Structure 1
Amino acid sequence: MRNLAIHTTLCGFFLLLLTGQTTPGCQSQQGIEGKIVFESGNQMPGPGVQREPAKGVKRELLIYPLLKATELEAEGNGFYSEPAQPPVKTVTSNDDGSFRVQLPPGNYSLLVREKEKLYANLSDGAGHIHPVEVKPNEMLQIEFKITYAAHY
């Protein structure tokens, strides 16, 4: 029994070391998971309109402590300057746009690196940039849409 526990611990350690992720049950599963998608073209509803579906994309996702838009320089169309503080975590999505990152409970802002700048197109009523709340023992499901090339 003791050998099984050691083996399980070592497997979890090497999985964390190689992939940045843990095995189920090794650690509380809390953070953010989802998909980063790119939308382009005409997204307006209407008869005979052919909309291009959103496509999952590989992008760098930067997770910051909760940021207000007034803390960054807006460069238009959802693009922002780099914040003064470094991100809490950075993760790169897979080719299909999927990602998973563990985080401690708290409030965060999400931005993606796009065209050598940072991009986010959501804010709340208080002016926070793409806010998310990570709760204890919960994986928050999100879809991060990159929409600057889409028309609505």
Structure 2
Amino acid sequence: MKQILFFLLAGGLALSGCSSSKKLKPSMITQGISGIVTEATGNQMPMQDAPRPVSKGILTTVYIFEPTNTTQVTQQGTSPIYTKISTKEVASVQTDSSGSFKIALPAGSYSVFVKYGNNYFANLFDQNNNIALFTVEEGKLTEVKLVVNKGASY
């Protein structure tokens, strides 16, 4: 009986070592979305003889959803903050301390949101009211720059 249990345990460990659920290191990702999330706060109006305000990278979570239209979300008034997204979440990734992130994705179109408190933030739209829509092409990284500017004035 002990020998059977030993072989079952050893076999299970050997199979789990072959699992393909390992995460890819960011440097190994060659197809998907790569970018930076920054935050702009305060007065962003250009002023003569004053340096332009610099947005700083933030530590947050980036959420990748199936293409999402404004008709498929619950929005806080007219703000770029969303409390509910009705499309399917495809993936998520944590930014590093500089706001940089990279995530492997199949070719296709995706809506990209940033975690904002307990909600989602996105301030980009196309002519059809699709929210923060980016396309990943076969074998390519799509570069994005996301700016959380809820606390900024222009």
- TM-score bracket for the superposition, by shorter chain length: 0.7 to 0.9
Residue 83 of structure 1, aligned match among 82, 85, 88: 85
Secondary structure, aligned partner of 1:73: strand
* Other-structure match for 1:69: 70
Unaligned runs of 5+ in 1: 1-12
Secondary structure, aligned partner of 1:113: strand
Contact map agreement 1:61 1:113 (CA 8 A) in 2: yes
One-letter code aligned to 1:151: S
Contact map agreement 2:82 2:119 (CA 8 A) in 1: yes
How does 1:51-62 map onto structure 2 within 5 Å?
51-62=52-63
Shift of 1:86: 3.9
* Other-structure match for 1:140: 142
Moved over 2 A (4+): 19-24, 48-52
Contact map agreement 2:66 2:89 (CA 8 A) in 1: yes
Shift of 1:77: 2.1
* Other-structure match for 1:108: 110
* Other-structure match for 2:6: none
Residue 21 of structure 1, aligned match among 6, 20, 25: 25
**Percentage of matched positions with identical amino acids:** 25
Residue 124 of structure 1, aligned match among 120, 123, 126: 126
Matched, 1:42 2:43: yes
Bigger-Rg structure (1/2): 2
1:23/1:37 CA distance change after superposition, 3 Å: closer
1:141/1:35 CA distance change after superposition, 3 Å: same
1:23/1:146 CA distance change after superposition, 3 Å: closer
Contact map agreement 2:38 2:57 (CA 8 A) in 1: yes
* Other-structure match for 2:95: 93
Secondary structure, aligned partner of 2:151: strand
Q: Distance in 2 between matches of 1:29 and 1:48?
A: 42
Unaligned runs of 5+ in 2: 1-17
Q: Distance in 2 between matches of 1:79 and 1:60?
A: 15
One-letter code aligned to 1:65: E
TM-score (norm 2): 0.79
TM-score (norm 1): 0.80
Q: Distance in 1 between matches of 2:113 and 2:132?
A: 7
Contact map agreement 2:72 2:87 (CA 8 A) in 1: no
Contact map agreement 1:63 1:89 (CA 8 A) in 2: yes
Shift of 1:101: 0.2
